[in-house]
């Protein structure tokens, strides 16, 4: 598998610091031309500044690479389209999109305002939708594309005080699952990356000795694989502190109980069997669930 990106063009959102900066620097170091997008806001999404994105561009150029800065908010579809137009006008193509932009507004669900819930979903989920929608026709036309969605263990497994963030991050997994299927015939490969890293998003959430092991650079190898020519598709890759794992959404073998007034009680009694993970599978698409349930029903009446 080649992990060189010579002549490839990449967009990395939220690339003014932390993970996004590490992603942009790594892609540029391996030959990609990179648009560095960052609104330059605070961790909660407030404010804006072009300084952070331009600083990363300056780093890339100082190392001999090619990069341009962009300060669009991923929540603004018109600004995102202008960002993609900027890439096309500068380099004539777009091969890679790393959807990394994000914010945090943590509170328990009871104390969280709907505005805070909605804004986090808008940035993480709709921001990725806007960016992906803008590059999609160009990738279809080129019959090539690599898209990396930044999900999170919070979305996959939950985390106290992050209902908004977790909802948005799990939604990105669902988006990835379908886009990977739709993009396959155009060689557009779509994957999710669940990072554990020390960035300004987490700097006051972990003790110093833990933060030292969680450099953003430890996540970058997973991104490079997912953005490469030989990338997989429909993968959920977890990465942090030098460790790499794959996460899966699985389906157990379950039971068939049929119809009838006694089924609720039967289901309650069979619950351990329903949840038994022996011989569980990873469905190829969403129709597998229904197909298996219909097959069980047909087998029961034979």
pLDDT in tens, 221-241: 999 999 999 999 999 999 999
Residue 165 bears catalytic tag:
yes
Give the other-Cβ count within 10 Å of 176's Cβ.
24
Q: What is the pLDDT of residue 209?
A: 73
Using one digit for the tens of pLDDT, what is the confidence trace for 25-82? 999 999 999 999 999 865 555 555 678 999 999 999 999 999 999 999 999 999 999 9
Q: Of 144, 157, 165, 244, which is the active-site residue?
A: 165
Residue pair 246/237 in contact (Cβ under 8 Å)? The answer is: yes
CA distance 274 to 113: 37
- Taken in order of first residue, the domains within the chain and their CATH numbers are 9-246 (3.40.50.720), 263-300 (no CATH)
pLDDT score of 47: 53
Query: Does the pLDDT value for residue 259 go beyond 70?
Result: yes
pLDDT for the residue 273: 98
Q: What whole-number distance in Å separates Cα of residue 15 and Cα of residue 69?
A: 10
Rounded to 5, what percent of the chain is helix, strand, coil?
A: 45, 15, 40
Q: Is the pLDDT of residue 207 over 80?
A: no
Tokens of 130: 């806007």
Write phi, then psi, for 182 (nearest 5 degrees): -70, -30
- Bridge partners of 99, per DSSP, are 149
């Amino acid at each position: 598998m080649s992990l060189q990106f010579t002549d490839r063009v990449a967009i990395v959102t939220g690339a003014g610091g932390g993970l996004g900066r590490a992603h942009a620097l790594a892609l540029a170091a391996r030959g990609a031309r990179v648009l560095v997008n960052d609104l330059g806001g605070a961790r909660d999404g407030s404010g804006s500044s072009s300084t952070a994105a331009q600083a990363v561009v300056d780093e890339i150029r100082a190392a001999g690479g090619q990069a341009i800065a962009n300060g669009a908010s991923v929540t603004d579809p018109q600004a995102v389209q202008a960002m993609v137009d900027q890439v096309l006008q500068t380099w004539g193509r777009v091969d890679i999109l790393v959807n990394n932009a994000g914010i945090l507004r943590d509170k328990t669900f009871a104390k969280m305002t709907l505005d805070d819930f909605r804004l986090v979903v808008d940035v993480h989920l709709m921001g990725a939708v806007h960016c992906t929608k803008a590059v999609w026709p160009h990738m279809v036309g080129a019959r090539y594309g690599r898209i990396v969605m930044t999900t999170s263990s919070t979305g996959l497994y939950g985390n106290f005080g992050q209902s908004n963030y977790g909802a948005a991050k799990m939604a990105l997994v669902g988006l990835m699952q379908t886009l990977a299927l739709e993009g396959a015939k155009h060689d557009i490969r779509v994957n999710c990356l669940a990072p554990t890293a020390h960035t300004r998003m987490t700097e006051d959430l972990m003790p110093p000795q833990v933060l030292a092991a969680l450099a953003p650079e430890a996540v970058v190898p997973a991104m490079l694989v997912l953005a490469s020519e030989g990338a997989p598709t429909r993968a959920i890759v977890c990465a942090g502190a030098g460790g790499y794992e794959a996460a899966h959404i699985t389906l157990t073998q379950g039971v068939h109980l049929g119809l009838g007034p006694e089924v609720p009680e039967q289901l309650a009694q069979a619950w351990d069997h329903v949840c038994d993970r022996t011989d569980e599978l990873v469905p190829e698409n969403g129709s597998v669930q229904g197909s298996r349930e219909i097959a069980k029903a047909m087998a029961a009446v034979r």
